[in-house]
Structure 1
């Protein structure tokens, strides 16, 4: 069985690794939220521009201005598509980060369970040793009491 000092070192390392995985997961979540925010802004901007185009066509619009509007909206659609891809990639990375964090937490729990089992076994051994010493003391006292007669 691993010594207590070795087990404590493993537990400390596992805690550090789990904490680092947790921090990494937080960073990924923050990045994903930023990407989602940018995607939302692009959608809002596209909607605004589509409404401007609609109003401009109602009041009259030259062909070149109409073409510019449509071209800019197409550019926004491409940016939205790219941002959707980024958000999707971030979702995958977050899930991987979450799995890594869970794995590190399970590893830490295993070490802690091992430490707990080791502590219980040491306590049982100490209790047995104490019981043996007490039994031996009682036996010696009994022998002394019966030898004096």
Structure 2
């Protein structure tokens, strides 16, 4: 049974953390996309109703209908303001998560570099020990033939 080194355990944990942040980021990006689509839809409603109001006003419009249009347009404007604020909050959250993901990725990469360096040092030490053992064996054999 192979035991993981502390660096490998830390890398595994950092990888899980990075992957979790990536999932959160993907979810948040989806939410941001939906919020943006809703914002665009509200802009279309606003534009369409402004066009309807202009069109009806050209031919004459009853004041109650005009008031209804204005009330609805005001409601749409409030909804647009709220939706714009929601999109801005999602943008900030997305940037924060993106920063977290980048830090997590850098941590995983740094731990991987440390593991690779440790493995290289271990391989070098093993190669040196093996070379020393071979040299000692050859030296004993050589000395045995001289006697």
TM-score (norm 1): 0.94
1:111: how far off? 1.0
Aligned-pair Cα RMSD in Å: 1.1
1:142 positional shift: 1.0
Q: Counterpart in 2 of 1:28?
A: 28
Partner of 2:116: 116
TM-score in terms of structure 2 length = 0.95
**Match runs of 1:82-101 below 5 Å:** 82-101=82-101
Question: Distance in 2 between the 1:71 and 1:103 partners?
Answer: 48
For residues 54-133 of structure 1, the aligned pairs below 5 Å read 54-133=54-133
Moved more, 96-105 or 56-65: 56-65
SS at match of 2:14: helix
Shift of 1:5: 2.5
Whole-angstrom distance in 1 between the partners of 2:10 and 2:34: 36
Q: Does 1:39 align with 2:46?
A: no
Q: What runs of 5+ residues in structure 2 fail to find an aligned partner?
A: none
Secondary structure in 2 matching 1:60: coil
- Deviation digits for residues 5-48 of structure 1 (CA, Å, limit 9, x no counterpart): 22221111111100000000001100000000000000001111
Deviations 1:34-87 (A, max 9, x none): 000000000001111111101110121011211111111111111111111111
Count of aligned positions: 145
1:19 equivalenced with 2:19 (yes/no): yes
Separation in 2 of the partners of 1:39 and 1:141?
85
